[in-house]
Each structure stands twice: as structure tokens, then as C-alpha cells.
């Protein structure tokens, strides 16, 4: 009798899951978002506060976030205020960073900004450079994904996907992943939110903060409730994209990093056993 425990585990087929357009734009976005985040924090450090409304200033009490420093008996300490509630943020490097002998007073520490020292001009140049590459890549992705059916097939949730969210959520909570030809319900909802909500929002609010765009399209200021509100939304969307990135990396590691990376480098993905293949797929 054959010992079933000694048999190798069954493997599903290798399927061609990611087109060249999806793979290239994925890695271009990864590079762009890295530089956009770190240069964005450099720009934020020029005035580490966020407001709601058309204006900001000494006569207004419309700040929802302020990062700064205060003098105490123990020396300078970082202080962050969110919706009027303040807390000591020195341990997080917010407001004050560096050594006690040579403290640096910035909203975010130099370790997470480009450049690592105060240089608003360079930060803005690099930010805008990668910002326009980011926008161009979005256009290329939307065009290619519409033509090859990627948006229809893998991004836009169908009624069956919505109905399958509870089961998919339970499977993810238990780290039970099904490697299929298309994305699962949670993946579709997440990618739909990124591509159709977060990406358009961060681009539109970024443009709203530009004086040149304000002159050409003043209606954008009304749409977002003023430049200060647009700046706040821009910052919040950035935080949501960072949260998405962290969850994305955790899911890649949990689902099998080699298989996931192979699909984003070569396009080929090892599906779960029993997944139907099509002509051209590898066994």
C-alpha cells in the first residue's frame, strides 16, 4: 500500500495572470509612490499643520493637525495636536528628532524625508517630477486595462463578489487563500478603491493646490472646499495609501511571496489545485 503522506502535494497549473502592462505600471507606481511620500513629507515640514476651509492663519481655529515642539524642564519635546487633543510625540520623532545635544525641529524626521535635511525647493522639484510620471502611468494603465479587459475582469466588483465578501473575509482571517485565475472579492474591492477613488483623489487634490491650475480651473477650489481642505484630503489619502501598502505586503507574504512576486515579474502565477486551465497555460 502506498503511504499517502509521502506523496508530494498536488500543484495547480501555472496560469498567465498579469499582463506586461499591469506588471510595468505596478513597479513604476511603487517607485513613484516611494519618492512622492518622502518628498511629500519634506513639503509638509515647511508648515506641519493641516486645516479645513479656504484659509489658515492666526485668526482662525480650523487646524485639525499640528506638529511642533515645546520647551519643558526636561528640554525640548515634540507635541502633536489632533482635533484639539495634544500628546507628547517625541518618541515618534514628530516635532523633535535627533540627539538631545543636537535636536532637529521638524514635523517629520529627516529619516523619512527626501532630502533628509530641510530643502523645500528640491523636495518640490522631485515631488512634481514623480507626480507627473505617476499621472502618466495611471493613464497608460487605464487605457491598457480597458482594452485587455483587466478592469472589467479583475477590478470592478460584480454582485457575486459583493456576496462573497463575508466568506473571503473569514478565509483571510484564517490565512486560507485561494489562488485563482482572477482576484478574490476583497482584492477587487481594495483595488477598485485604490484605482477609482484614492488615485483620482490624490491627483485631483494635488492639482488643486497648484496656483497655475487654480487660475485655469478655479472650480476645483470650490469642489474641494479650498486649498487648505484639498491639502488635508491629500494628506489623508496619502495615509490611506500607506495603509494599503502595508496590508498589501502582509498579504503577499502570507499568500506566498515567491508565487506573488513571480506573477508581477513574469506574469505566471501558480493557481490552486483544481483551477481550470486554458490553452497556453503551463501545467
* Domain spans of the chain, in order of start: 9-45+119-270, 47-112
DSSP 60-125: ---EEEEEEEEEETTEEEEEEEETTEEEE-GGGTSS-EE-SSSEE--SS-GGGSSSSSS-HHHHHH
Write down the architecture of domain 9-45+119-270 according to CATH.
Up-down Bundle (1.20)
pLDDT more than 90, % of the chain? 66
C-alpha to C-alpha distance for 273 and 283, rounded to whole angstroms: 11
Structure confidence by residue, pLDDT tens digits, 22-52: 999 999 999 999 999 999 999 999 999 999 8
The tens digit of pLDDT for each residue in 53-85 reads 776 665 667 889 999 999 988 889 999 999 989
Is 50 exceeded by the pLDDT of residue 214? yes
- The whole model's pTM is what? 0.88
Amino acid at each position: 500500500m502506498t503511504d499517502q503522506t509521502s506523496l508530494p502535494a498536488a500543484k495547480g497549473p501555472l496560469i498567465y495572470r498579469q499582463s506586461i502592462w499591469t506588471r510595468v505600471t505596478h513597479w513604476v507606481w511603487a517607485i513613484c509612490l516611494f519618492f512622492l511620500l518622502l518628498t511629500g513629507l519634506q513639503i509638509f515640514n515647511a508648515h506641519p499643520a493641516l486645516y479645513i476651509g479656504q484659509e489658515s492663519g492666526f485668526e482662525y481655529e480650523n487646524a485639525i493637525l499640528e506638529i511642533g515642539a515645546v520647551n519643558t524642564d526636561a528640554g525640548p519635546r515634540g507635541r502633536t495636536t489632533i482635533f484639539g487633543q495634544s500628546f507628547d510625540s517625541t518618541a515618534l520623532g514628530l516635532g523633535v528628532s535627533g540627539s538631545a545635544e543636537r535636536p532637529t525641529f521638524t514635523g517629520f524626521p529627516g529619516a523619512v524625508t527626501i532630502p533628509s535635511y530641510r530643502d523645500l525647493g528640491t523636495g518640490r522639484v522631485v515631488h512634481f517630477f514623480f507626480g507627473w510620471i505617476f499621472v502618466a502611468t495611471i493613464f497608460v494603465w487605464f487605457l491598457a486595462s480597458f482594452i485587455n479587459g483587466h478592469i472589467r475582469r479583475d477590478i470592478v466588483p460584480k454582485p457575486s463578489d459583493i456576496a462573497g465578501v463575508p466568506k473571503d473575509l473569514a478565509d483571510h482571517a484564517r490565512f486560507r487563500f485561494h489562488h485563482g485565475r482572477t482576484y478574490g472579492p476583497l482584492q477587487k474591492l481594495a483595488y477598485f478603491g485604490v484605482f477609482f477613488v484614492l488615485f483620482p483623489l490624490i491627483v485631483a487634490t494635488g492639482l488643486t493646490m497648484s496656483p497655475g491650475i487654480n487660475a485655469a480651473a478655479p472650480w476645483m477650489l470650490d469642489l474641494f472646499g479650498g486649498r487648505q481642505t484639498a491639502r488635508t484630503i491629500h494628506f489623508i489619502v496619502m495615509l490611506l495609501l500607506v495603509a494599503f501598502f502595508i496590508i498589501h505586503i502582509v498579504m503577499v507574504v502570507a499568500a506566498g511571496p515567491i508565487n506573488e512576486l513571480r506573477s508581477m515579474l513574469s506574469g505566471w502565477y501558480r493557481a490552486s489545485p483544481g483551477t481550470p486551465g486554458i490553452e497556453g497555460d503551463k501545467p
